[in-house]
Structure 1
Amino acid sequence: MLPSDAQINLLLGGGIDSSALIAFYLARGATVRGIHFNYGQPSLDGERRSILALSQHYAIPLTTVDLGLSIVSAQGEYHCRNATLLLAAASIFPAKQGRFSIGIHSGTSYYDCSKIFMADIQRIFDGYFGGCIQVEAPFLEFTKADIFNFCTLAQVPVELTFSCERRGDFPCGQCSSCLDRRILHESS
């Protein structure tokens, strides 16, 4: 159980991973605050609909920030995205100590979804904040199927989530996020 005054600043993208983290932390007694960024992603409209619905469902405060930039996607991977978003979240955080969480998981080859990345980004945060800000990724060793199973057990409203990398109006059905989601739904 987390301390009763534990506040988690959760990076919300509107997908299954970050949505599951809301339930994960609330079940542990934490106060959850959502943060969502516009970084020029094509899926912005769908993400915003999802995070607004999820923040209402769970009654958590939500901050949305327009970064004023566009992170370029190279074959579906946004280089430096997770580091950029974590550092941006910390830069708007008013307190001198706290906890940030991100919904990265195993099963990908991306550096910014790895244990090495988490250790590296924590070292950067330690340099800036003297060890007073912690970065967490509770699902780091979970597969996508593990997260989906957690959603089922925790009754996460998956129907409110949005998972597409290419479109914001409705899922394209062909990107890796759409394919993951289809496979998970078909296997359940």
Structure 2
Amino acid sequence: MKALVLLSGGVDSATCLGLAVKEYGAAEVCALSVYYGQTHCKELEAAQKVADFYGVSLKRLDLSVIFEGSDCSLLASSPKDIPLQSYAEQLSVTGGKPVSTYVPFRNGLFLSAAASVALSHGCEVIYYGAHSDDAAGNAYPDCSEKFNSAMGEAIYTGSGGQLKILAPFVNLNKSQVVKIGLELGVPYKYTWSCYSGGRKPCGVCATCRDRAAAFEINGIDDPAIKGE
């Protein structure tokens, strides 16, 4: 096994899986999805569909106990409502702090856990889908280039030089990620990004807005909405 992909079931991680499969072949790639106590499991279901499409094995990890004390609005245990404003609107009132949908140090935790899984299966690289739109304005600081560099150094050092992390989109925005994915033929119709767990995406939460804009910039309707 050469590569492990952190696969949430959203656009960015699905595109990472497409890149990894192109680079190494499906037989040398595995995926890892994490349940962290989120309000719904639509993304996890989407991750399975994407993994099945590529013919890669999907491992699951339950880390929900770690976030039991958090009031992050993405968590089922949180009393907060998921905000419906754009990230820019949310950041205008946070005073430079992350938005309420920031799960405490999620990427740091996921990458650390993924490193152990990857090393146990002989992988040499971990892919994850951080991109610059999420890092902008400190909305999700664990998606930033600075964070990626620090975690990359820690994992490489801590693995004795056996394992690297790769965030191929860390300096790209979401529309650029979608452009790459469309060229790769990523099955976006199977992906899920919405913070709500309804039958269809809500279309108004921040991640729905960003996703719709990314597809629009690329001149197409969101395949998940169209069902194609």
The two structures have a TM-score, normalised by structure 2, of 0.73
Larger relative CO (CA 8 A, sep 6+): 1 or 2?
1
Match of 1:145 in 2: 175
Match of 1:101 in 2: 127
CA contact (8 A) 2:5 2:29 kept: yes
**Paired residues, number:** 182
State the distance in 2 between where 1:177 and 1:103 align: 14
SS of 1:28's partner is: helix
TM-score by length of 1: 0.87
Pairing of 1:81-160 with structure 2 (within 5 A): 81-93=106-118, 94-95=120-121, 98-107=124-133, 108-109=135-136, 110-160=140-190
**Residue 103 of structure 1, CA deviation:** 0.6
Among 16, 23, 32, which residue is 1:28 paired with?
23
Mind listing any 5+ residue stretches in structure 1 that lack a counterpart?
1-5
CA contact (8 A) 2:4 2:123 kept: no
Aligned residue for 1:9, secondary structure, equals strand
Q: Does 1:76 align with 2:101?
A: yes
Identity %: 27
Per the TM alignment, residue 25 of structure 1 is displaced from its structure 2 partner at its CA by: 1.8
The 3-state SS of whatever aligns with 1:126 is helix
Counterpart residue number, 1:17: 12
Bigger CA radius of gyration: 2
Report the structure, 1 or 2, having the larger strand content: 1
- Following superposition, which runs of at least 4 residues in structure 1 exceed 3 angstroms of deviation? none
Query: 2:47 corresponds to which residue?
Result: 51
CA deviations over 1:152-179 (Å, ceiling 9, x no partner): 2111111100002243654232221111
